[in-house]
Chain A
Amino acid sequence: GESVGLHLPTLSVQEGDNSIINCAYSNSASDYFIWYKQESGKGPQFIIDIRSNMDKRQGQRVTVLLNKTVKHLSLQIAATQPGDSAVYFCAEASNSGYALNFGKGTSLLVTP
């Protein structure tokens, strides 16, 4: 069936480095993509979203890139900080859908 998945289940980076978290999706009808951050013991926290008519969107220290040709989504975090350590989920939805479809998540560990 259609799904959203992540290439890497865990990612370890050094403080100050840039992080890249990848996500593949299979539903070509997906119109809307979101990245969430989930810290231990907390609910998912919205980071950034992007619609299918865009290739790139930037936020504060984060950039989301969308490649519709290969159905790939990535989240780039600049100058990664210890507070960025968390599990990151990508999610997608289509205009004909009714819910967000979440990937399994990638655990990001920032080491000093």
Chain B
Amino acid sequence: DSGVTQTPKHLITATGQRVTLRCSPRSGDLSVYWYQQSLDQGLQFLIQYYNGEERAKGNILERFSAQQFPDLHSELNLSSLELGDSALYFCASSVERVVTTDTQYFGPGTRLTVL
């Protein structure tokens, strides 16, 4: 158990809908990273938050957004869902904001299925 929690574990929804994925980082970690894992693209970095502020963006679609709250938990919002958004979504956390300084620990993921 990495100490990172994610809810829900599974999510099934329809095209055009909006969903929210939640992540609680390890105690003491200030950075939260979101990744998407699909069969053909592997693990792709989406976005990073550090202590409530957005720090870096990767291959995140405009339909997707995220935020980190004062208690450091984070939410990833996916809207206008398409079939191609079906994937595993992972959250990772670390103490520092610099990716080469500190290890990222991953949560168990949320499996999103868009029908």
Q: CB within 8 A of A43: which of B45, B56, B58, B107?
A: B107
The total of interchain contacts (Cβ-Cβ below 8 angstroms) comes to 60
Contacts of B100 in A (CB 8 A): 31-32, 51, 93-95, 97
> Size band of the B side of the interface?
20 to 34
Interface string of A86-106 (1 = CB under 8 A from B): 000101011101111111110
> Size band of the A side of the interface?
20 to 34
The reply to whether A89 and B43 form a contact with Cβ atoms under 8 Å apart is: yes
Query: Does B104 touch A at the CB level, under 8 Å?
Result: yes
Interface string of B55-80 (1 = CB under 8 A from A): 11010000000000000000000000
A97-B107 contact given A44-B43, A44-B90, A104-B42, CB 8 Å threshold: no
The reply to whether A98 and B48 form a contact with Cβ atoms under 8 Å apart is: yes
Q: CA separation between A34 and B21, bound complex, in Å?
A: 26
Q: CA separation between A51 and B102, bound complex, in Å?
A: 11
Q: CA separation between A45 and B4, bound complex, in Å?
A: 11
Contacts of B33 in A (CB 8 A): 99-100
Interface string of A42-67 (1 = CB under 8 A from B): 11111001010000000000000000
Q: CB within 8 A of A98: which of B43, B55, B90, B108?
A: B55
Q: CB within 8 A of A32: which of B45, B58, B99, B107?
A: B99
Instruction: Name the CB-closest residue of A to B47.
Output: A99
The reply to whether A97 and B42 form a contact with Cβ atoms under 8 Å apart is: no
A45-B106, A93-B99, A100-B33 known; 13 new pairs, CB 8 Å cut-off, are: A32-B100, A42-B109, A43-B92, A43-B106, A44-B90, A44-B106, A49-B103, A97-B100, A99-B33, A99-B45, A99-B48, A99-B56, A102-B42
**Contact residues of A with B, CB < 8 Å?**
31-32, 34, 36, 41-46, 49, 51, 89, 91, 93-95, 97-105
